[in-house]
Structure 1
């Protein structure tokens, strides 16, 4: 957890246990070959936090640096100010939990957007068919929060502030990891959170060869 302090995540209000879970998943995905050994960008969304607060962090694990800290929307049927209900179902207009791998960018009705592949069976594997993507939206802003008491909501996409979305998308596209953390009281269990294979992958990433 040395990287937690060096990335200045304490002052950015990222809970240590959420960061730890995200790291375990990241290194398990690397261990299983789902992401490249050279990948070093991790995005975390903490749905335990109010939508009025910045609850998305983009971290460069190699440089141990926080790249972005931003607002992010949840789905219309996931809750008002707080995210409370989640679904992997098409048409649910809910957010989905768990680990994703970023894909290609494209230009859609929201401008530059980013495809996501859900890799957590039972939680987010319909992300592609549901068109759950990262995009910018006018309803994701401090102004909207001041006016409505909460952030605007999406159809299930992790929508970002329009003035930040393109920079964030360019930093995370092409095979990086996104982790959407479950709020307290919402059941979430994942094979990506097994500690032992994650430790092995972490050791490998540090140049420690387990075979001597």
Structure 2
């Protein structure tokens, strides 16, 4: 079956799946960019223009995120999305590695730390999984769903769009939520942020406004230079993604996941 029809079929199954309650633990630091400069979206190809908004982010990761998003949108998923969150798990947990962009306005909304799963590593995440009970973070592209209030407070459900990579996110209760253990000050003493059970947990102070910006059909892209994922991801095989992917694979590090 061609890539895009297969992606649509998988997503249809995910959309019909029941929602699960959330679980997790995490740690991070806020930069709400209220007065940040804006750029005209789409003037440059891929995600190049996002680098002007987030110069600390890896431009290749931003390009991959936009390419994966555009591939999903070409399949009819998240066609009206206005916001994109990018997580770069190749960066240490004590450094900002989550960027939230307003694509329509051409603005950076947040630059934050974000926790990874207990099973993924200490300060550096190196292991990723789609398996329940692994307590590892998952890679790839997610489209956001609804919100709920559970044991971790206000939380955002996410549907993984990549079969075998993150499509168990709903069943695993991989959600975005705030957590007191996402605390950079305490993290400096420990040598890492607190960790979740695989959820991208953020600081409690920014959780609700960030989740409200990302709920209901926006995108979240989680990256690590895992060569196996980069080479098999259907969302990174669309024509729009091939050039960026080829550049990224030149520096990719093969890992188990």
Q: TM-score, normalised by structure 1?
A: 0.87
- Alpha-carbon distance in structure 1 between the residues aligned to 2:226 and 2:49: 28
Shift of 1:49: 0.2
Match of 2:85 among 22, 34, 43: 43
Q: CA RMSD in A?
A: 1.6
Stretches of structure 2 lacking an aligned partner (at least 5 in a row): 1-43, 243-257
Counterpart for residue 126 of structure 1:
168
| Structure 1: stretches of 5+ with no match in the other structure | 200-212
> Does 2:184 match 1:142?
yes
Q: Does structure 1 residue 4 correspond to structure 2 residue 46?
A: no
- Where does 1:192-203 land on structure 2 (aligned, <5 Å)? 192-196=235-239
Partner Cα separation in structure 2 for residue 40 and residue 50 of structure 1: 28
Residue by residue, what CA displacement relative to the aligned partner does 1:140-180 show, whole Å, maximum 9, x if unpaired? 01122122111110000000000011111000000111000
Output the CA distance in 2 between the equivalents of 1:58 and 1:127.
20
Count matched residues: 194
Q: Contact conserved, 2:145 with 2:216, CA < 8 A, in 1?
A: yes
Within a 5 Å distance, the mapping from 1:169-208 to structure 2 comes to 169-182=211-224, 184=225, 187-189=228-230, 190-196=233-239
Change (3 A) 1:139 1:4: same
TM-score, normalization: structure 2? 0.72
Tell me the distance in 2 between the aligned counterparts of 1:78 and 1:35: 28
Match of 2:70 among 27, 37, 40: 27
- How far apart are the structure 1 equivalents of 2:154 and 2:212? 9
**Aligned twin of 2:141:** 99
Structure in which a larger fraction of residues adopt helix: 2
**Deviates further, 143-152 or 80-89:** 143-152
- Mapped to 2, the partners of 1:105 and 1:5 lie a distance apart of 29
Deviation at 1:197, TM superposition (A): 5.3
How far 1:109 sits from its partner (Å)?
Answer: 1.3
Distance 1:180 1:22 in 2: 8
Sort the Cα spacing of 1:46 and 1:86 in 2 relative to 1 into closer, same or farther, 3 A: same
Partner of 2:50, secondary structure, is helix
Asked whether the 8 Å contact 1:46–1:55 carries over to 2, the reply is yes
